[in-house]
A and B are shown apart, each in its own frame.
Chain A
Amino acid sequence: MKFWDFFKAWLTLYFVIASGIFFVRAVYTMIFYPEYVLTNQAVLHTFVLALVASLPSFILFSNNEDSIFNAKARLITHFVVLEGVMLLLGGWLEWYETFVQALGIALTVLVVYAITMGISWLNMIKTADDINKAIEKRNNDADKIDQKGNRE
């Protein structure tokens, strides 16, 4: 993948994450803090958080086609860096005070990461199924054509 293509994908990811945080924040405050007024600082924090969460994805960029081993290594590195960065940011924004709370954040990141990977994997399985159905249909059609004697 060319760097520019990757950058475009990253930019999309950045805005998806930022929008997601805004959405979650809106729902959360609406339920638990109805009096809450969105501050400039909160908006800034959201954009910084989206930036920090999306920046590690550059680890996944490769100009060459990776081997399966390299792809796995990149994925694991990406996850570890993301965990580290989120914990550092969490410390700066005072999301946690105790070790258990920090562990909770690390687990949350793990769960969100697993869900994202799961959705992506399910999407790929669906694509593979659709292609396999198309192959099966094509083969059946070809058999029918052969039986009639016509070939296209």
Chain B
Amino acid sequence: MNIRFEKISPQEQEEILVRSQEMTTEIVHIMHLLDDAVSVVKFCGAGNKAVQISAKDILYVESVDNKSFVYCGDEVIEVKHKLYEIESELQRHGFFRASKSLIINSNAIKRVSPELSGRFRALMSNGETVIVSRKYVPVMKDIFGV
């Protein structure tokens, strides 16, 4: 199998194309590996230790007392970044600001339900619920094309 690189102009969209006569388990495996690789996000964790997390595994990121915490299922990782920095990094992976102190992975939302005062409650894939504040409801609607 040939692996080649093609340079494109800055205006063009970067793309990885796998050309094959048929879909084999090997190709599926390669595509899964590529998919995991492109969704990896690098953070600076506690003790300036580099932390790599797949964006797909992150449920939400919360800021508490000027500290940012990345929630991945049962695991909570403290990172040394401001919430707005994390927001700009994660936006392309389907994350959106849900409140002043919270960024949610839209791909990890199972259901939403209305709450008092124009807010929405989002049920995450791990069963936890988070609140989307009134100010950011238009952003959530935009993300889901509503």
Contact = CB atoms under 8 A, between A and B. Distances in A.
Interface of A: 1, 5, 60, 65-66, 68, 71-72, 74-75, 120-121, 124-125, 127-128, 130-132, 134-135, 138, 148-151
B27 interface: yes
Given A65-B131, A71-B117, 10 more contacts: A1-B134, A65-B133, A66-B117, A74-B117, A121-B114, A124-B114, A124-B118, A128-B112, A130-B144, A135-B111
| Contact count band on B | 20 to 34
What are the 5 A-B residue pairs with the smallest beta carbon separation, nearest first?
A124-B114, A71-B117, A134-B144, A130-B146, A149-B23
Contact of B116 (A68, A128, A135, A151): A68
Contacts of A130: 141, 144, 146
Interface of B: 23, 27-28, 31-32, 35, 99-100, 107, 109-120, 131, 133-135, 137, 140-141, 144-146
A52 B119 CA distance: 26
The A interface is mostly helix, strand or loop, or mixed, namely helix
B112 A149 contact: no
28 contacts: A1-B135, A5-B135, A65-B100, A65-B133, A71-B116, A71-B119, A75-B117, A121-B114, A124-B120, A125-B114, A127-B114, A127-B120, A127-B137, A127-B146, A128-B120, A131-B120, A131-B140, A131-B144, A134-B146, A135-B109, A135-B144, A148-B23, A149-B28, A149-B31, A150-B23, A150-B31, A151-B31, A151-B35
Contacts of B107: 138
